[in-house]
């Protein structure tokens, strides 16, 4: 979380510094507040192959700053859910495995963005419709949980596969979107972003069963092999539980609003008169 606030403070400082410049009147509103709502979809051992859309909630908020008329950087915080359940699987062997998870996640991202069309000399001269691509780096906090006998348990502390993994992981986000200018100060965009993850434990499932004798905690034992809940016999140690050769991943499908902040919004209205003055005609024609 501290890295998110550091990035926000840095971007705000850049916006403040621009506001002191003689040329600020020509570079106003390069700092943009971004908020979004959408869905997240999980890919892993507890998802059906071929299922590319899962309506799990996703929210985002951040700041974006333009360095050139095509290139910007965005600092963003996302909250989203991921979920998987063997009970909904097409494969009967997976339904017998009977594992499930639900995770509330936080993702802090710093992303570089490239626009297909130049934004224009002033913020309000940007194209009505634009396309963009992005890539960056994120820090992900995830916490897979499951429900057992009416109570929800965090799975990572139970070490259901005997593995101690971190709930904070690096992630590579990349994707693209299309942006529409609603008015001079507001854009609406539709964005899809895939996340490359470097762990196979988003769902707490990766390798093999340890067998009931490997656990001293009865809850950990019960949640490592949930076949007995269906009246089936426990599996032997070494039986395949997941697929460690394929890392988990996820993507976001988001609708976002982008609002161009006044370049002096931190300092108040002292320069508002200058900001609102009528521009000369030849400025409007420059791109």
Confidence of residue 121 (pLDDT cuts 50, 70, 90): confident
pLDDT, tens digit, 9 for 90 and up, residues 8-43: 455 444 444 444 443 444 445 778 999 999 999 999
The one-character DSSP state at 20 is: T
| Percent of the residues in the chain that have a pLDDT greater than 70, as a whole number | 82
Residue-level pLDDT at 110: 98
Q: What is the mean pLDDT of residues 220-237?
A: 96
Each as own residue / partner, the long-range contacts of residues 153-159 (CB below 8 Å, 24 or more positions apart, any chain) are: 153/219, 153/223, 155/101, 155/204, 155/223, 156/201, 156/204, 158/217, 158/219, 158/220, 158/223, 158/224, 159/220
CB atoms within 10 A of CB 103: 25
The one-character DSSP state at 268 is: -
| Cα separation, 112 vs 170, whole angstroms | 16
Looking at residue 251, which CATH number applies to its domain? Answer: 2.40.160.20
Q: Tell me: pLDDT of 169 over 90.
A: yes
Q: Tell me: pLDDT of 103 over 90.
A: yes
User: In 35-163, where does DSSP find H-type helix?
Assistant: 92-97
pTM to 2 decimal places: 0.81
Domain range for 50: 2-285
Total domains present in the chain: 1
Cβ(275)–Cβ(262) below 8 Å: yes
Q: What is the mean pLDDT of residues 65-71?
A: 91
Q: What is the mean pLDDT of residues 213-231?
A: 96
With 0-12 CB in 10 A as exposed, 13-18 as middle and 19+ as buried, what is 208? middle
Q: What is the mean pLDDT of residues 216-229?
A: 96
DSSP string, 27-67: T---EEEEEEEEEEEEESTTS-TT-----EEEEEEEEEEES
| Cα separation, 256 vs 189, whole angstroms | 5
Q: Tell me: pLDDT of 274 over 80.
A: no
Q: What is the mean pLDDT of residues 118-144?
A: 93
């Amino acid at each position: 979380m501290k890295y998110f606030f550091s990035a926000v403070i840095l971007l705000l400082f850049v916006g403040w510094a621009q506001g002191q410049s003689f040329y600020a009147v020509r570079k106003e509103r390069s700092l943009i507040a971004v908020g979004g709502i959408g869905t997240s979809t999980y890919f892993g051992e507890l998802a059906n192959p071929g299922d590319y859309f899962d309506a799990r909630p996703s929210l985002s908020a951040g700041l974006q700053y333009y360095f050139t008329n095509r290139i910007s950087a965005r600092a963003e915080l996302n909250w989203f859910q991921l979920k998987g359940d063997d009970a909904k699987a097409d494969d009967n062997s997976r339904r017998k495995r009977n594992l499930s998870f639900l995770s509330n996640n936080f993702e802090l991202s710093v992303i570089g963005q490239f626009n297909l069309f130049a934004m224009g000399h002033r913020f309000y001269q940007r194209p009505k419709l634009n396309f963009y691509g992005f890539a960056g780096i994120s820090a992900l906090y995830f916490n897979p949980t499951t429900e057992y006998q009416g109570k929800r348990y965090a799975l990572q502390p139970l070490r259901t596969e005997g593995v101690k993994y971190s709930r904070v992981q690096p992630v590579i986000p990349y994707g693209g979107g299309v942006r529409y200018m609603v008015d001079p100060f507001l854009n609406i965009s539709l964005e899809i972003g895939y996340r490359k993850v470097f762990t196979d434990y988003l769902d707490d499932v990766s390798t093999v069963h340890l067998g009931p004798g490997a656990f001293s905690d009865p809850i950990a034992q019960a949640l490592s092999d949930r076949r007995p809940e269906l009246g089936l016999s426990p599996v032997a140690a070494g039986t395949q539980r997941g697929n460690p050769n394929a890392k988990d991943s996820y993507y976001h499908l988001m609708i976002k609003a982008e609002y161009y902040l006044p370049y002096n919004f931190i300092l108040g209205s002292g320069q508002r008169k200058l900001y609102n003055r009528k521009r000369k005609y030849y400025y409007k024609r420059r791109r």
